[in-house]
Each structure stands twice: as structure tokens, then as C-alpha cells.
Amino acid sequence: MSIHPESCFVIRCDVCNEALDSDGFGVAHFATGEQATAAAVDEDWTVLAGGRISCSVSDPEHDDARDAAALTPA
């Protein structure tokens, strides 16, 4: 076995900083930012304005972030 540095993408909620765990075995890693975003959306995360993202937690802070995104014109 040898050790090699590799780069990957991890997506975190901009509200609570929780990382996407799509398989239940820890933080999910992706080859591209686009793959990370697509996986998050598949897990019911919401893309917010300015490239921010919110996980699916329902509490006042997350709900306010999603509500503000819904009011922002595309």
C-alpha cells in the first residue's frame, strides 16, 4: 500500500456546517463540486443564493434561509 494525496469535494450546509452523509457511513466525498451539489439536492438539500446550500434540517434558522432563497428572483 502506498499513500497518495488526492483532492476531493465535501459539501457542508452553510447554516449549520453539517457535512453531507449520503450513505450513512460518514462524510461523502466527490470528484467535482457539481457532483457534490447534485448529491446534496438528491438528499433534499436546498441551493440558496450565491452558491450557498442548506441541509434538510427544519428549524427556524434553516427555514429562514430556505424562505429567503424562495423569495430571491432567479
Residue 36 pLDDT: 95
Tell me how far apart the alpha carbons of residues 49 and 63 are, in angstroms, rounded to a whole number. Answer: 14
**Domain ranges (residues) in the chain:** 7-74
Residue 68 pLDDT: 86
Q: What is the mean pLDDT of the chain?
A: 89
Could you tell me how many helices (H) and strands (E) the chain has, helices first? 2, 2
Tell me how far apart the alpha carbons of residues 25 and 7 are, in angstroms, rounded to a whole number. Answer: 20
- What digits encode the pLDDT tens for the residues 28-46? 999 999 999 999 999 999 9
Q: What is the pTM of this model?
A: 0.82
Residue 61 has pLDDT above 90, yes or no: yes
Residue 72 has pLDDT above 80, yes or no: no
